[in-house]
Chain A
Amino acid sequence: GQNIDQPTEMTATEGAIVQINCTYQTSGFNGLFWYQQHAGEAPTFLSYNVLDGLEEKGRFSSFLSRSKGYSYLLLKELQMKDSASYLCAVVPGGSYIPTFGRGTSLIVHP
């Protein structure tokens, strides 16, 4: 089975930088997704990492270390609209379907 761990809740200040960590234990590995989900809305795709390293996309970056079973999502220049839940989802070996973590609720305050 899969074990995905991410903090339940984080708070940060508008304009700051926040890093949301995700650790996982899987049988094999076929990639890791990050999704953003505002309250009452659909999860929306942010990033996909399958190789080690940092992927940058505007204010959001995602990092992966397969040997450590570790990823993080980095959000820069935080805005109030970034307040949402951030879901880490891991695709185990032998599958192409992600398993989702419980999500990290990020609260951005002025």
Chain B
Amino acid sequence: EAGVVQSPRYKIIEKKQPVAFWCNPISGHNTLYWYLQNLGQGPELLIRYENEEAVDDSQLPKDRFSAERLKGVDSTLKIQPAELGDSAVYLCASSLGLAGRTDTQYFGPGTRLTVL
């Protein structure tokens, strides 16, 4: 079974440029998460989707970050414009989405963003 797929794996851009990250979750997983991970830190949740609905985006900086999951499968996370402090690893994860239960998240390899 294929795991969570993310692309690109690495991205280097200059500040003020836009950037987009793509995620394909595990087949059959209804819940999709975007996390930000700084060096030496644990992942921090940016946004969570249940199917195509964003149900938790309280930590997403909405002035520059946006996300979508139009058909309830793939998802895109965008930053426009990027700032130096956005340099980090952006992780995507998915889970079955079991109602009323904690279920295990499976992570993709992440996109390492460097903003110059």
Name A residues whose Cβ lies closer than 8 Å to a Cβ of B: 8, 30-31, 33, 35, 40-45, 48, 50, 87, 89, 91, 96-103, 105
Give the number of A-B contacts (CB < 8 Å): 50
Q: Could you write out 17 A-B pairs with CB less than 8 Å apart? A: A31-B102, A41-B109, A42-B109, A42-B110, A43-B43, A43-B107, A44-B107, A45-B104, A87-B42, A91-B102, A96-B100, A96-B101, A96-B102, A99-B45, A100-B42, A101-B42, A103-B41
Within 8 A of A (CB), among B57-116: 91, 100-110, 112
Query: B99 — nearest CB in chain A belongs to which residue?
Result: A96
User: Using Cβ atoms and an 8 Å threshold, which residues of chain A touch B4?
Assistant: 42
Name B residues whose Cβ lies closer than 8 Å to a Cβ of A: 3-4, 33, 40-45, 48, 56, 91, 100-110, 112
Bound complex: CA A78 to CA B64 (Å): 44
